[in-house]
């Protein structure tokens, strides 16, 4: 995963969020280097606590990325036949 400056990533993600796409901030723990995904959607944090080692990473300093989740609603097709 590539890391980009927080402000750039948040700006880019806002475009997706405005279109109804759910985004989750992703970042790398600077201590154990495990990829982390924020549980809260559409929020960008300047720091994050690692779920693996419990240590805090300065995301504003190290950069981050995000994953976009496109919500697709599937509707069953109604029968067009009318008799």
Q: Which residues in this chain contact Zn ion in the complex, by CB under 5 A?
A: 29, 31-32, 50, 52-53
How far lies 41's CA from each of 15, 46, 75, 83, in Å?
Answer: 14, 15, 24, 47
Pick between residue 32 and residue 41 the one whose CB is nearest to Zn ion.
32
Pick between residue 32 and residue 68 the one whose CB is nearest to Zn ion.
32
Q: Are strands 35-37 and 22-28 parallel, antiparallel or unpaired?
A: antiparallel
Pick between residue 48 and residue 66 the one whose CB is nearest to Zn ion.
48
For residue 19, the minimal CB distance to Zn ion (Å) is: 32
Q: Which two tokens stand for residue 24?
A: 């989750």
């Amino acid at each position: 995963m590539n890391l980009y400056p927080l402000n750039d990533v948040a700006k880019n993600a806002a475009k997706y969020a405005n279109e109804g796409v759910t985004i989750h901030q992703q970042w790398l723990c600077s201590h154990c280097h495990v990829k982390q995904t924020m549980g809260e959607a559409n929020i960008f944090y300047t720091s994050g606590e690692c779920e693996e080692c419990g240590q805090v990473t300065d995301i504003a300093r190290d950069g981050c990325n995000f994953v976009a989740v496109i919500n697709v609603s599937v509707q069953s097709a109604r029968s067009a036949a009318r008799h």
